[in-house]
């Protein structure tokens, strides 16, 4: 049964992580979430504010349904050596969700769904405009499935949108003037 609660996102993120996980040590990158050891960091469209999050814990991988209900869907297997919690970027554990215990294999399968990220892109909101549904299950200890984007239709957090901005053609050293003595004399 899915538990639905609001979670405060900040800096376009919230986490499903072990409380002591280093959520900056990314190993795989996706559109809905990125993963690393003991965490998945979810990408929101809003800059900060509440998002609606639902979590299902299953005993086996779910069947795939290519439902148009969700804008983006990612799936991965990641190492989960400690129990996971829903945690904000500021480190606040969202107690309403409880914890997701570590499977005996030490690995979890995860499928993350999202809808509504484009409706309030980069805004601060007071009411949820986005909905995330996360399904997790125990994975086999030998499973090494890379992160797969099963659906990516909203255009946000894609590899193309994450490319670094081109370097500026302006060289700040070119405009620097050294003052040895006397008044400043500007180039020109």
How do the domains of the chain map onto residue ranges?
6-159
| pLDDT at site 186 | 56
Q: pLDDT confidence of 185, banded at 50, 70, 90?
A: low
Torsions phi, psi for 59 (to 5 deg):
-95, -15
| pLDDT at site 166 | 47
Q: What average pLDDT does the segment 5-14 reach?
A: 96
pLDDT in tens, 113-170: 999 999 999 999 999 999 999 999 999 988 777 899 888 889 888 777 766 544 545 4
Is the predicted pLDDT of residue 24 greater than 90, yes or no?
A: yes
**Neighbour tally for 185: CB within 10 Å:** 9
Higher pLDDT, 161 or 11: 11
Q: What is the CATH number of domain 6-159?
A: 2.60.34
The pTM of this model reads 0.83
| pLDDT at site 161 | 72
| pLDDT at site 184 | 54
| pLDDT at site 178 | 53
pLDDT in tens, 53-91: 999 999 999 888 777 899 999 999 999 999 999 999 889
| pLDDT at site 83 | 96
The 3 state secondary structure assigned to the chain is: CCEEEEEEEECCEEEEECCCCCCCCCCECCCCEEEECCEEEEECCCCEEEEEEEEEECCCCCCCCCCCCCCEEEEEEEECCCCEEEECCCCCECHHHCCECCCCCCEEEEEEEEECHHHHCCCECCCCCCEEEEEEEECCCCCCCCCEEEEECCCCCCCCCCCCCCCCCCCHHHHCCCCCCCCCCCCC
pLDDT in tens, 25-45: 999 999 999 999 999 999 999
Of 10-19, 107-116, 154-163, the range with the lowest mean pLDDT is: 154-163
Is the predicted pLDDT of residue 173 greater than 60, yes or no?
A: no
Strand 48-57 to 131-138 pairing: parallel
Token reading at 169: 């053609």
């Amino acid at each position: 049964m899915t538990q639905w609660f609001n979670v405060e996102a900040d800096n376009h993120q919230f986490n499903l992580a072990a409380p002591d996980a280093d959520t900056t040590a990314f190993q795989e990158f996706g559109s809905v979430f990125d993963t690393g050891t003991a965490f998945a960091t979810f990408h929101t469209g809003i800059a900060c504010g509440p998002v609606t999050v639902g979590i299902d814990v299953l005993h086996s991988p779910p069947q795939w349904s290519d439902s148009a209900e969700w804008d983006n869907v990612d799936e991965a297997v990641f190492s989960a050596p400690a129990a996971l919690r829903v945690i904000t970027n500021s480190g606040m554990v969202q107690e309403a969700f409880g914890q997701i215990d570590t499977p005996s294999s030490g690995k979890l399968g995860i499928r993350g769904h999202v809808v509504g990220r484009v409706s309030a892109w980069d805004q601060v909101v007071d009411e949820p405009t986005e909905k995330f549904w996360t399904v997790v299950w125990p994975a086999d200890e030998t499973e090494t499935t890379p992160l797969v984007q099963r659906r990516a239709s909203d255009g946000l957090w894609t590899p193309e949108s994450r490319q670094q901005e081109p370097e500026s053609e302006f060289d700040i050293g070119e405009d620097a003037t050294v003052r040895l003595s006397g008044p400043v004399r500007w180039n020109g």
